C-alpha cells in the first residue's frame, strides 16, 4: 500500500530528470568517440575503430552483468540508497573522463560507469512501489521517456557541447548534471521501505523461480530487449545512410544526430498519453498495439528516398516506443511480487543493456549482406518475432 506521506508526483519528476541525465551520460559520447580517441594517441584507423567500439559498448556490457546484484541489494536495503550510489558514482566517473590521456583510461572509466548502473531500474522500482495503483500507467509512461529519450537525444546533446566547448567539457557538464540529480534525490525523493525479512539460512531464489507470473515477466524482458535492439540497430550506419540519401549535404553529423533524436522527442510527447490510456483500457492492449504499429515504420523505411522521409519514419518509431515501453513498465509493476520488485526491474535493465549491445551488432552484420536497407528489413522481422513472443507469454492477461 502506498503511504499518503509520499509525494509520488514529486518522486516522479525528480527521477525523470535523473533517468534523462543517465541516458545522456551513456550515449553522449557516440558522435565524437572516435575523434576523441584519435586525439589522445597515434592510433591507426583499425586501432581507433576497435578502441571506439570497446569504449562505447563497455558500460552496457557491465550493466547487463551487475544490474541484478543492485536489484537484490535494493530489495534488502531500499531503492533510494541504490539511487544515491548510482548517481554519485556516475557523476564522479563521467566527470573523470574529462581527464583521460589515452584510450585505455577512457575504456576503464566506461567500464566503471557500468558498475555504477542501477539508477534506471531502481527509479522504476521505487515509482512502482510508491505510486497509487490507478496512476501506475501514467507514472510508468512518463518515467520511461526519461532514459530512452536521454539515450536517443544524448548523441545530439554531446555533439552540440563538443562543437561549442570541446570534447572534454561534454563529460564535465554531464557529470555536473548527474551530481545535481544526486542532490535532488537526497532531498526530494522519498520511499516507505520495509525490508523483506528472511531467515539466516534462506537462499536467494534464482531469477524468476517461484513467481507465478514468470511467463509474463519474461515476455516483458524480451520486449525490452527487442525494442532496444531495433532502436539501436541503425546506430552504426545512420550517418552513412544519411550520406547515401543526401550525398551533397555538408552537415551529415548534425543531420544524423537530429534524426536519431526524433525518436526520443516523439516519446517525450506521446508516452504519457499512452500511459493514461493504459490505465483506462489496460496496458496489455497498448503493448500489443505498439508492437504491431512498430512494424509499419520499420518496413516503410526500407523504401525511403530522402532524409525527410527517414526522419518521418523515426518519428513513427518513437510513437511505437511510446506505446511499448510504458506498457512494459506498467505490466512489470503489476505482475511483480512486491518483495522482489527491484530485482525484476534490474533484470529488465539487463535485458535493456543486452539490446543496446546486440542492436548495433545486428545492424553492422546485416549491412554487410543486405546493405543499409537490409537493416530495416531485419528490424521488421525482429518486431514480428517480438509480437509472436508476446502473444504466447501474455495470453492469460485479460
- Per-residue pLDDT reduced to its tens digit, 69-94: 888 888 888 999 999 999 999 999 99
Predicted TM-score (pTM) of this structure: 0.76
**Is the predicted pLDDT of residue 205 greater than 80, yes or no?**
no
Q: Is 313 a member of any domain?
A: yes
Q: Is 154 a member of any domain?
A: yes
Element (H, E) at 217: helix 214-232
What is the maximum span of the chain, computed from C-alpha positions, in angstroms?
68
Of residues 101 and 26, more confidence is placed in 101
Q: 360 and 236 in contact (C-beta within 8 Å)? A: yes
pLDDT of 224 reads 92
pLDDT of 202 reads 54
Q: 60 and 114 in contact (C-beta within 8 Å)? A: yes
Domains in the chain, number: 1
Q: Is 202 a member of any domain?
A: no
**Is the predicted pLDDT of residue 1 greater than 50, yes or no?**
no
Of residues 278 and 222, more confidence is placed in 222
Q: Is 200 a member of any domain?
A: no
Cα–Cα distance between 391 and 394 in angstroms, integer?
6
Q: Which of 159-168, 175-184, 244-253, 299-308 has the lowest mean pLDDT?
A: 244-253
Grid coordinates representing 224? Answer: 525490452
Predicted confidence band of residue 147 (pLDDT cuts 50, 70, 90): confident
Helix%, strand%, coil% for the chain, nearest 5: 80, 0, 20
pLDDT of 225 reads 93
Grid coordinates representing 328? Answer: 512494459
Cα–Cα distance between 66 and 54 in angstroms, integer?
18
Between the ranges 176-180, 259-263, 371-375, where is the mean pLDDT highest?
176-180
Question: Cα 360–322–300 angle (5° rounding)?
Answer: 60
Q: Is 253 a member of any domain?
A: yes
Grid coordinates representing 218? Answer: 519474461
Q: What is the CATH number of the domain that holds 138?
A: 1.20.1250.20
Closest C-alpha among 219, 199, 177, 237 to residue 332:
219
| Cα torsion through 76, 23, 134, 335, rounded to 10 | -50
Predicted confidence band of residue 317 (pLDDT cuts 50, 70, 90): very high
As a whole-number percent, the residues of the chain with pLDDT over 70 amount to: 93
**Is the predicted pLDDT of residue 14 greater than 90, yes or no?**
yes
pLDDT of 48 reads 78
Closest C-alpha among 25, 13, 27, 2 to residue 272:
13
Cα–Cα distance between 324 and 288 in angstroms, integer?
8
As a whole-number percent, the residues of the chain with pLDDT over 90 amount to: 31
Closest C-alpha among 331, 225, 326 to residue 270:
326
Q: What is the mean pLDDT of the chain?
A: 84
Give 197's contacts (C-beta < 8 A, 6+ positions apart): none
Of residues 394 and 97, more confidence is placed in 97
pLDDT of 4 reads 46
Cα–Cα distance between 314 and 266 in angstroms, integer?
9
Predicted confidence band of residue 183 (pLDDT cuts 50, 70, 90): very high
Element (H, E) at 341: helix 341-393
pLDDT of 197 reads 61
Predicted confidence band of residue 2 (pLDDT cuts 50, 70, 90): very low
Q: 8 and 131 in contact (C-beta within 8 Å)? A: yes
pLDDT of 345 reads 85
Domain that holds residue 291: 8-191+211-393
Give me the mean pLDDT over the 50-79 stretch. 85
Q: Which of 22-26, 98-102, 350-354 has the lowest mean pLDDT?
A: 22-26
Q: Is 244 a member of any domain?
A: yes
The dihedral of CA 59, 345, 9, 226: what is its sign?
A: positive
Predicted confidence band of residue 5 (pLDDT cuts 50, 70, 90): low
Cα–Cα distance between 218 and 140 in angstroms, integer?
18
Distances (CA, A) of 37 to 21, 31, 216, 378: 23, 12, 43, 31
Of residues 135 and 236, more confidence is placed in 135
Give me the mean pLDDT over the 300-312 stretch. 93
pLDDT of 188 reads 92
Q: 286 and 274 in contact (C-beta within 8 Å)? A: yes
Element (H, E) at 229: helix 214-232
Q: 227 and 42 in contact (C-beta within 8 Å)? A: no
Give 39's contacts (C-beta < 8 A, 6+ positions apart): 167
Quote the DSSP letter at residue 248.
T
Q: Is 185 a member of any domain?
A: yes
Cα–Cα distance between 77 and 81 in angstroms, integer?
7
Q: Is 353 a member of any domain?
A: yes
Task: State CA 188 to chain mean position distance.
Answer: 23
Amino acid at each position: 500500500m502506498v503511504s499518503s506521506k509520499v509525494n509520488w508526483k514529486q518522486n516522479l519528476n525528480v527521477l525523470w530528470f535523473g533517468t534523462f541525465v543517465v541516458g545522456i551520460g551513456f550515449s553522449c559520447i557516440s558522435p565524437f568517440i572516435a575523434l576523441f580517441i584519435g586525439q589522445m594517441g597515434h592510433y591507426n584507423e583499425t586501432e581507433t575503430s576497435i578502441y571506439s567500439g570497446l569504449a562505447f559498448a563497455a558500460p552496457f556490457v557491465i550493466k547487463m552483468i551487475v544490474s541484478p546484484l543492485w536489484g537484490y541489494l535494493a530489495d534488502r536495503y531500499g531503492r533510494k540508497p541504490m539511487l544515491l550510489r548510482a548517481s554519485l558514482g556516475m557523476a564522479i566517473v563521467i566527470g573523470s573522463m574529462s581527464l583521460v590521456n589515452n584510450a585505455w583510461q577512457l575504456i576503464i572509466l566506461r567500464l566503471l560507469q557500468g558498475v555504477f548502473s542501477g539508477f534506471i531500474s531502481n527509479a522504476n522500482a521505487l515509482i512502482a512501489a510508491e505510486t497509487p495503483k490507478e496512476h501506475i500507467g501514467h507514472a510508468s509512461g512518463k518515467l520511461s521517456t526519461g532514459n530512452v529519450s536521454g539515450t536517443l537525444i544524448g548523441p545530439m546533446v554531446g555533439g552540440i557541447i563538443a562543437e561549442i566547448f570541446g570534447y572534454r567539457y561534454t563529460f564535465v557538464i554531464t557529470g555536473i548534471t548527474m551530481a545535481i540529480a544526486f542532490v535532488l534525490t537526497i532531498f526530494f525523493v522519498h520511499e516507505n521501505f520495509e525490508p523483506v525479512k528472511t531467515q539466516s539460512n534462506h537462499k536467494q531464489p534464482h531469477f524468476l523461480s517461484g513467481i507465478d507470473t514468470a511467463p509474463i515477466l519474461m515476455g516483458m524482458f524480451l520486449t525490452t530487449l527487442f525494442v532496444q535492439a531495433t532502436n539501436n540497430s541503425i546506430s552504426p550506419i545512420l550517418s552513412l545512410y544519411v550520406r547515401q540519401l543526401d550525398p551533397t549535404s555538408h552537415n551529415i553529423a548534425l543531420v544524423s544526430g537530429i534524426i536519431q533524436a526524433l525518436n526520443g522527442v516523439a516519446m517525450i510527447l506521446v508516452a504519457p498519453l499512452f500511459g493514461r490510456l493504459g490505465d483506462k483500457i489496460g496496458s496489455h492492449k497498448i503493448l500489443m498495439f505498439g508492437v504491431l504499429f512498430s512494424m509499419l515504420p520499420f518496413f516503410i523505411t526500407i523504401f525511403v528516398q530522402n532524409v525527410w522521409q527517414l526522419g518521418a519514419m523515426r518519428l513513427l518509431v518513437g510513437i511505437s516506443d511510446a506505446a511499448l515501453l510504458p506498457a512494459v513498465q506498467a505490466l512489470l509493476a503489476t505482475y511483480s511480487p512486491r518483495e522482489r520488485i527491484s530485482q525484476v526491474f534490474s533484470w529488465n535493465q539487463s535485458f535493456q543493456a543486452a539490446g543496446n549491445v546486440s542492436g548495433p551488432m545486428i545492424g553492422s552484420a546485416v549491412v554487410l549482406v543486405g546493405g543499409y536497407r537490409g537493416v530495416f528489413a531485419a528490424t521488421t522481422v525482429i518486431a514480428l518475432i517480438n509480437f509472436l513472443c508476446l502473444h504466447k507469454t501474455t495470453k492469460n492477461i485479460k
